[in-house]
Every structure is written in structure tokens, then in C-alpha cells.
Structure 1
């Protein structure tokens, strides 16, 4: 790290430290983050997903690849994430490009999910219209019967993405709206994080 003001070795360390604090303070889903994507012609969309891994390789989340977000990321891999923890009065913004996780990673995470969630991944045609809830419930019953008491394998259309960050912003609330904003920007040539502080 080029700037000695940094209190963490890498921005990933800071994300994980703040996540650990949020796990103790947030009543629901401390790993929830807003995922912003865009179509090739620039129309944005945003929704909540759950962080399933954060290390020096990036931030990982999973989805149906045939969903709206999956389709948009396939066409335009640039994305942004936002964590907001109301109890801590903190947020983190992350920007970068995504790449698919490996099949082995996707298989391992899928196998760790509750059985009902794995059945749901088969039953849900995510982001597409349905006639009514009965249609979805019928698909759940169909796949519950199909797999019986046996293993529920991962569908080919269900996997994950790893966002490879090139920018982080760590925001802390301060009195009188004199907030703290610290950024890390990746110098790709030097493979080093450049630290800066922004006016609130």
C-alpha cells in the first residue's frame, strides 16, 4: 500500500473487518449488498444479493445465469456493489468487472444450501413471468418428486460471479454530515492500491 494512512493491509481486509462487526450488530442479512448492472446500451438496474466470499481474488455472489442480472452481466461485465449497515452508520461501495466462478466453487456452494433452496433453484425461472404462484408451487412439487430423497445437483444455469474490484469507497457517518470517505483505487500497472480521502 502506497499511503501510510491505511489502517488495513488491503481493502479486502477492511471489508471483512466491517462485515464481522455488521454480523454482530445487524438484525438481518449483514452480507446483503446492492448489485448494480447495466445493459450494453446503458440502462441500469439494481437489486439485493448476498455476499458469499471476499478475499484478494474478489467478492463472490451466486445467481440464476438466465435471470436479468445474469443476462446483463453476460453482455456487460462491469458492475458495482453497495453494502449499507444502518446500525453501524457505514457503507462500502465497490466497482469492477465480474468473471464466472469455477464449476467446482459453484458445486461446493450449491451443495451447502438447504435442500429446499436447491429445489427452488430448479423450479424458478428467475426474472421471467409466471401465470401465478400456483405455477411456481407446481414446479417445486415436480422437482421435489423428481429428486426424491436423493441428491439435488446444481443446474447448469445456476452459478456465481466474482467481482474483481478496481475501486472501493469506505464511508462512515459523522456528526453534522461531515462524513468520512476513504477510497482505494487499483493501479493496474503497479498492482497496488492508491489511497485517497474525499470531501463528504
Structure 2
């Protein structure tokens, strides 16, 4: 086993797919865990905007096992532990992407979608960087594809709606034009995973 500290962006870059095995529980983070994460993100955003050097926040561990690899295909990793954190961050980025869409930031939308959420040149299930358990898959893909049913009544939908709400509130409350960009920077580069 090899442990190393890495940012979320470095973990998911490249043509990869993180598969949550069928035996794993469904997504279960609720408002308490989401709020705690958002408080940490908010502190890092404030530090970054004020010019302070913001040290990465340790989010927790993720245990991955190599999955099947096919030549010309995506590199697969089985998520043995950490699926709640990975799923939450992916949903936060889907919400951020959709927030940027409302702001008219096409470049930011494309960057998040292509760099973080999908394997752009693959189709079917290989298209998604994260593939949750079968029970969560429909709700998750609705959020990643920005379909009308995104943000449904299950835990996946609730997390997506949570992030859409806090992004809208934060943007409204902030007097700094760089706020939303800084949120993206914090999520990509200042959340540390082992």
C-alpha cells in the first residue's frame, strides 16, 4: 500500500474513472457533513481573498484499488474507502459549473466539466469520472449532465441543491468579483486527500 497526500485536482486528472463497488453503501452525507465541509471551504476562500497564504485543508483519506485497464480506455480505480468525499466533491463541482453557467462564464463551465467531471472523449459509462453504486447512478448522472431532474429528493440531489444554494448565497454576500473563482481554486487545489 502506498500513501501520499494529493490535491483533488491531481487525484482525478487524466482519463480515469473511480468506480464505487456494488457492495458499498449508497451516498449518505447529509446537511451536517456538507455544512462542515462548506465552512472549511469558506475559511480557505476568505484567507485566499485576503492575501493570506492558505494551507491545504486535510479532507480525509481515499483508498483506491486498481481496476481493469483496457488499451485506449480509461484507467479504472475501485473506491474501497472515501466514496462519500469523492462523490461530495464531484457534486460540488457540478453545482459550481451550473452556477458559472448562470453567470454566463462559458469558459469556466467547460473547464470544470471537461477537466473534472467527465472523460470527454469516451461514451457510455466510461464518460463519467466517478461511477457511483447502481442505486445512486441515475441521480448522480442527472447532476453531471445538468438534466432537469438534477437535484432530486435523494441524498445525491440534496447535496447538489445544498451546493447550488450556498454558492448563490456566497456570491450574493461577497463584494469581491473573484469569490466564485476562488471557490473553484479552493476545491481543486486546497483540499488535500491522502
Q: TM-score, normalised by structure 2?
A: 0.23
More strand by share: 1
- Higher Cα radius of gyration: 1
Greater relative CO (CA pairs within 8 A, separation 6+):
2
More helix by share: 2
